[in-house]
Amino acid sequence: MAAIAVASGTYKLDPTHTDVLAQWNHMSFSNPTAHFGTVDGTLVYNADDVSQSSVEVTLPLSGLNSFTAKFDEHLRSADFFDAATFPVATFKSTKVEAAGTNKLTVTGDLTIKDQTKPVVLDVTVNGAGEHPMMKVPAVGFDATTTIKRTDFGVGAYAPNVSDEVKLRITTEATQAPAETAAE
């Protein structure tokens, strides 16, 4: 597998092409998912020293979508995310490490309901290069991790509804045209 060359710079996550999916086990019967939409974030990538890279992401809980309106209301309620009091979840990296060809390990602080815990993301670089439509540097990543709901005060019905939640993330990001012109 050939290494994908990612251009150094600051990238803005594209919320239209970014998806954060949470999946859990429901009473040993099913494995439902919920989608966190309208993600906002910035990625700083340093191709010469990947350890100098960083990422910050905000997940507005108003964009939480399980594809069932009544369940969305329950997830946003005080039983789970209490979105009226805590409207966003955030992730801020604390360490980025190379983990093989087109692989990174990103460690960071995930905050949900004002409770912050370390999380490690296993990241795959999907592609990088000039965005065909916008003509600016672009990059795409997938990432996975597993968290415990109870670590963040979102533990209603555990353990019947699994404490462990798998997170799958896919994102596309582009550099701003002004930054590209300055290079």
pLDDT, tens only, 150-166:
999 999 999 999 999 99
Please state whether 42 falls in left (phi above 0), alpha (psi between -120 and 50) or beta. Answer: beta
Domain ranges of the chain: 9-182
pLDDT, tens only, 22-58:
999 999 999 999 999 889 999 999 999 999 999 999 9
| Helix or strand run (H / E) with residue 178 | helix 177-182
Burial of 176 (0-12, 13-18, 19+ CB in 10 A): middle
Query: Is 136 within 8 Å of 180 (Cβ atoms)?
Result: yes
What is the CATH superfamily name and number for domain 9-182? Answer: Lipid/polyisoprenoid-binding, YceI-like (2.40.128.110)
Q: Which of 34, 2, 67 is nearest to 149 (CA)?
A: 34
Query: What DSSP string describes 66-104?
Result: -S-HHHHHHHHSTTTT-TTT--EEEEEEEEEEE-STTEE
Beta bridge partners of 102: none
pLDDT at position 180: 47
pLDDT at position 179: 52
User: CA-to-CA distance for 98 and 33, rounded, in angstroms?
Assistant: 30
Beta-carbon contacts of residue 8 (< 8 Å; ≥ 6 apart): 45, 46, 47, 48
Question: Residue 178 pLDDT > 80, yes or no?
Answer: no
**Average pLDDT value for residue range 85-113:** 98
pLDDT, tens only, 54-67:
999 999 998 899 99
